[in-house]
Structure 1
Amino acid sequence: MTSGGDRGLSGEQLKAGSLRDPLPIAALAFAAFGSLYMVVNAVTLIDQRRALGQPIAKWQAWVLEGTSFAAWLALLPFILMLAARLVSRPLPLTTLGHAAGCIVVSLVHTALMVGLRIAAYALAGDHYAPTERWSDRLFFEARKDLITYISILAVFLVARQLVAPRMAIRPSPTLEAPLIEVRDGSRVVMLQPDEIDWVSAAGNYVELHGLFGSELARRKLADMEAELAHHGFVRVHRSRIVRRTAIASTETKQSGDFEITLRSGAVINGSRRFRQNLLQDAFRG
């Protein structure tokens, strides 16, 4: 399940995991529609400049549009991973995170795009020199980049919704699984164990995460772990437990800690101290 020598998923499992993971689906969708958009923009630019009596070399039009798209493709993994990390966070934190992410992405996109254009023009024996000031350029690109950034987030959220029915369809058990009671004051929510992807400690509460969003319950994580252990939940951090069948992949860092990507697209951190729990559970299966 983990990176390097620990990636023990079979080909069928990897294929099934990809079909239920919104990240590669969103990436492929953006690449496909982005390619089409790039072609349309390049052809339109050539036609418009010809109509205005200011013709542009075809290679220049393709470089101008292609470098922007190439820069977006380079930034796409960062944007999607940020979206996956923030998808289950409170709305204010999600909004703040994406606002900061959009600013960083726009600055990097503009710098990378201009750098690629300078290199491409140099290879063609020409010189690329924008006439506008950098401040004007950044503001102009920021308006377009905001729309593209939001579009990528929208594609990710749509992909996440599309895979949700696949994740919800499970074989009917012979005996109905017991419901987990989530009580917070006078409010009670009943959840099936396989509806819960992971649980995190939150002070005197635990927070349950899944396709339903998140629910707070005034319970200890240790008690929750004991109740869910028979349903395939393992501790991966002193403040987190996760349902093993909700895991799409894991990646080990140099420190020995690891990142867990869930089939929902969410990404959570695991501690090397509890890494053996996943391995032991895999051997039992």
Structure 2
Amino acid sequence: MTEKDRAGTNGGGAGTSGLSARALTALLLMAIFLFGLIRITANVYSYIADRQGAGLATSPTIAWMLEGSSLAAWVVMMIPCWFTVRRIRPPRFSLPATIAIHALLAIPVSLGHIALMVAFRTALWWTMGIGYDFTSPDGSPILYEFRKDLSAYAELVFILFLVQWLVARYAAPPAPAPERRTLAIGDGAVTHHLPVDEIEHVGAAGNYVEVAWRGERLLHRATLTAIEAELAGAGFERIHRGRLVRRNAVRRVVTHKSGDFDVEMASGETLRGSRRFRENLEG
């Protein structure tokens, strides 16, 4: 085994996870969401315990709605935050500049989170037939939420940066698209490079071959035998000494008593086949 064969087997190289970038991103974001669920669960029971300790009425349903609406708002805000982190990060910006820009962005992000959270809570409370009153213990609900959102945004930026770094480093590279095979056909002064999988059939025409492609007929100076050799392995079969067809373009084969047959193509055209070559389409 060469050094090249051993490279990347210990997880140190890109693409060792075997997951696509999309799958790895989804997996990591799901982990973040599950972490958020664990965190709000702890917050719910802390809220209930604090309320009971203060001798205040407590509803577990209300507690879950309060924390759940906040989490839902952060899930929505994660979308613009994702693109922001992808663009505002080292080395595109220096570390001090990145921190300063994100510190400023924390304000609109927090306002967006608060607006969504209040909207979700208003809708939830409305379904219960009551009104939602946006208040806080210090009498300044926006500032109260903003102080909490600052640490949440800093944490979110770090986590999203880490997710993007992990995806860029460990996601499996996309499989290269197979090169499309083409056939060079000289039609007069024009040379067409036809995708082989779009050619329907080829027929002999004297010193030329007639290539059926997208409903057109192109004349090319060559023998049918030479074209058959060029199309080897591309799924073309001879149905007549003067005709080749692409198997995937065949829709129906009708055999006559004589053993000869008709081949109905995807375009609707019907071609005559010789019994000598019938087994080419039966195999």
More helix by share: 1
Name the structure, 1 or 2, with higher relative contact order (CA <8 Å, separation 6+).
1
Give the TM-score normalised by structure 1: 0.48
